[in-house]
Amino acid sequence: MNIIGDNDQPIKFIDLFAGIGGFHLAFHGEGAECVFASEIDEQARKTYKANFNQITPELFENEDELFNKDIKEQVIDEIPDFDILCGGFPCQPFSNAGFKRGFEDTRGTLFFNIAEIINKKQPQAFFLENVRGLFNHNNGRTFETIKRVITEDLGYSFYWKIVKASDYGLPQARPRLFMVGFKDRNINFEFPDPVPLKYDMSYVMGGSVPRSVGFTLRCGGRGSKIHDRRNWDCYQVDGKDVQLNSKQGLLMQGFPQDFIFPVSETQAMKQLGNSVAVDAVKATAHNIIKALKKKDYFKKVLQQELLFSYADFK
């Protein structure tokens, strides 16, 4: 790990359960460098590589080392050093038994792999994302176990918030649980304040839509009729029923319009439904990086003051 800003080195992060790269895009936009990524789904890997091969070519020069296929098989010591761990980890079922043994209670879940990496690599911060339902899963015991592992077993601070994409400019609700923590527990972190919508669903669909904020994108159940309670991808546009496509989905998730899908439209929509809302992640990433830079700025000032004091003493 480097002192933030020392020798103009960028903050380094790793992108776990990377999907199509929402975290990568957000942190890259804040000037950070991705040094390792992991994604098991072959179709998502194609999309990830197609879009980040030029931005971060080092990841793909030796895919076996830096673009991991299965984080459960990764040798942790071979992951490059990094400052921030990022991951939208799947909510695998946690055991209903126990929930008092901390680290041991998470074995067999993908969260355990995250905890192991944090334990061994000791990054300065982490940023995890999951569905809102994780907060209340198993009467809240799953969330409390995660919190206890992070704060008691790993010794990190723990901040959490249920965030909506529409709070950060994007026209869909998409409530998600954001979890952030720091190795230095003295760092004071605040989630970013909400901002107005950048554009509404009329802009996304290219015509008049009755609702300004759209449905949350999903990875299944596509093609329901507009009045079906399960509908999420059909909108009334200029009085006609129109099904959402991947170009429009990119706008709703905050991806650029030149983002490439080297896969079928069905796969593209599934990948968008599994992705993070980029603007919400980027706003949070900005505050994480700002908090780390503030900490290291004062660390440098203190080091300089100690040096000056030592010189005066001599």
Residue linked to tokens 């079906």: 228
Q: With contact defined as beta carbons under 8 Å apart, do 156 and 118 qualify? A: yes
- Concerning whether 91 is annotated as a catalytic residue, the answer is yes
Rounded distance, CA 54 to CA 52, Å? 5
Q: With contact defined as beta carbons under 8 Å apart, do 216 and 135 qualify? A: no
Q: With contact defined as beta carbons under 8 Å apart, do 288 and 189 qualify? A: yes
From the candidates 86, 91, 219, 234, give the one annotated as an active-site residue.
91
What one-letter code names the amino acid at 220?
A: G
Rounded distance, CA 129 to CA 160, Å? 10
- Active centre residues (catalytic): 91
